[in-house]
Amino acid sequence: MMIMDPMGPRPDARTPLAPAPPPRGRIGVLGNGKPRAEELLLAMRAALAADGYVDAPVYNKTLQGAGSGEGAPNWVYESLAASADLVLLGSGDCGGCSTWSILDAVELERRGVATVTLCTDIFVPLARNLAASSGIPDLPLAVLAHPLATRTDDDLYALAPGLAAGVRATLAERPTPDAARVSA
């Protein structure tokens, strides 16, 4: 009998959060094809545009040959790392998609890109445990009440400003690019 560990390999050391994006930074989106997720991520990005942020690429994993329950293709990570200062990911509103949304965020953080992952409240414990076991216990989440899939357009547009305010708060807690270089 073979027993598989669904958490995968664990890092030996903690990974620091990527530095805060610069003013007028570029915000990308990595959706996972879950119903209503990309719409909410785009509405959050639009709310952050008022701060001077500009658009970077939007990827949907299901359109790139991956599902919500697996990692994005490596070229997507490379593209976002080259073109975005901040990536909004999600959604984490079931076990597999929560796991892989967090692992996608971990991969981007390790490449120096700030992330915030959209997650519903009942999957926050899973997301936090996985982020900690991946070496980034303080990985930022944008949390909303479960479920996401049944939300109306009006609900999404009403939620976006509050979630964007949460994103701003997590960015304020990140190291500045200069501080990140000094500690590296």
Domains of the chain: 26-172 (3.40.50.10140)
pLDDT digits 0-9 by tens, 57-83: 999 998 888 888 889 999 999 999 999
pTM: 0.89
The DSSP secondary-structure symbol of 129 reads H
Residue 122 has what pLDDT? 97
Task: Give the dihedral sign, CA 168/172/178/184.
Answer: negative
Cis peptide before 73 (omega within 30 of 0): no
Q: Could you tell me if 29 and 58 are in contact, meaning their C-beta atoms sit under 8 angstroms apart?
A: yes
- pLDDT over 70 (residue 10): no
